[in-house]
Structure 1
Amino acid sequence: MAKRNNENQSISDILKEFVEVNKLEKGLDKVNVREAWAKLMGNGVNNYTTSVNLERETLYIQLSSSVLREELSYGKQKIIKMLNEELGKETIKKLILR
């Protein structure tokens, strides 16, 4: 059983501690990356996105349009930077468009 703190703590601090203790950060990162991709890329790109997977520090994006894949490949570093800023930490190091 976890120890009980008699101090007053905010809910966000308690949730952060819970995530760290139970090692849930990687799973949450995968969900947060999908949400960040959808938010930053908008409907135009999301209509052609078939899957978004984060494995280690590499983000794999499956696209149904080869033209869009080629266009996005020119701005990979900018996309990585935007996604990491949205996530608030350096989660993504490499982007692979399929």
Structure 2
Amino acid sequence: MQKRNHDHLSISDALKQFVETNKLEKGLDKVNVANAWEKLMGNGITNYTNSVTLERETLYVSLSSSVLREELSYGKQKIINMLNEELGKEIIKKLILR
């Protein structure tokens, strides 16, 4: 059993410490990326989005519209930069539209 730490921590610091201790950051990043995609792309694009998955710094987005996929492929780097900025750290290095 771990010793109790008698220092007072804010809730945000305690949660950060819990996430780091239990190595949950990668899982949270996957959820945060999917939420950021929905927020930044809006309803028009998310209606055609089947899935958003993050694997080893690569974001895979499955789209049901080939026309939309072609249009988004022209701005891949801009989308990567917007998502990383929204997340506050550089998680995504590559974007693959399926």
Partner of 1:25: 25
Partner of 1:91: 91
**Secondary structure in 2 aligned to 1:95?**
strand
TM-score (norm 2): 0.97
Please list every run of 5 or more consecutive structure 2 residues that lacks an aligned counterpart in the other structure.
none
How far, CA to CA, are the matches of 1:2 and 1:75 in structure 2?
50
Q: Deviations over 1:7-38 (max 9, x none)?
A: 11100000000000100000000000000000
Q: Deviations over 1:31-75 (max 9, x none)?
A: 000000000000000000000000010000000000000000000
Letter in 2 for 1:95: L
Q: Is 1:65 matched up with 2:73? A: no
Q: What is the count of residue pairs matched by the alignment?
A: 98
Aligned structure 1 segments of 4 or more residues deviating by more than 2 angstroms: none
The root-mean-square deviation of aligned C-alpha atoms, in Å, is: 0.7
Partner of 2:76: 76
